[in-house]
Amino acid sequence: MQIQKNKQFLEAVAAAAWDFGKTADQRRQESLKRISSEVQELRQQLKRVKLDCGDTESHGSGISYPKENTQPVKEPQGDVKVTQQDAEHLLQSCEEQHSLCQAIYHALIKLIGEVGQPRDDNFMCIKQLCDFTKELKDQERTFFPKIEMLHSRKKHLDEQQVAQVEKLEKWSRAQTEQVEGVEKLLLSLLSQGKIIERNQVSLRIYSFG
Per-residue confidence at 61, pLDDT binned at 50, 70, 90? very low
| pLDDT 10s digits, 160-206 | 999 999 999 999 999 999 999 999 999 998 888 776 555 554 444 44
Is 148:71 a contact under the CB 8 Å cutoff? no
Highest mean pLDDT among 45-54, 61-70, 150-159: 150-159
What 8-state DSSP symbol labels residue 63? -
pLDDT of residue 49: 78
What 8-state DSSP symbol labels residue 58? B
Residue 59: partners with Cβ closer than 8 Å, 6 or more residues away:
83, 85, 86, 89
State which H helix or E strand residue 73 sits in: none
Q: Does the pLDDT value for residue 88 go beyond 60?
A: yes
**What is the distance between the alpha carbons of residues 75 and 169, in angstroms, rounded to a whole number?**
17
In single-letter form, the type of residue at position 184 comes to K
Q: Does the pLDDT value for residue 62 go beyond 60?
A: no
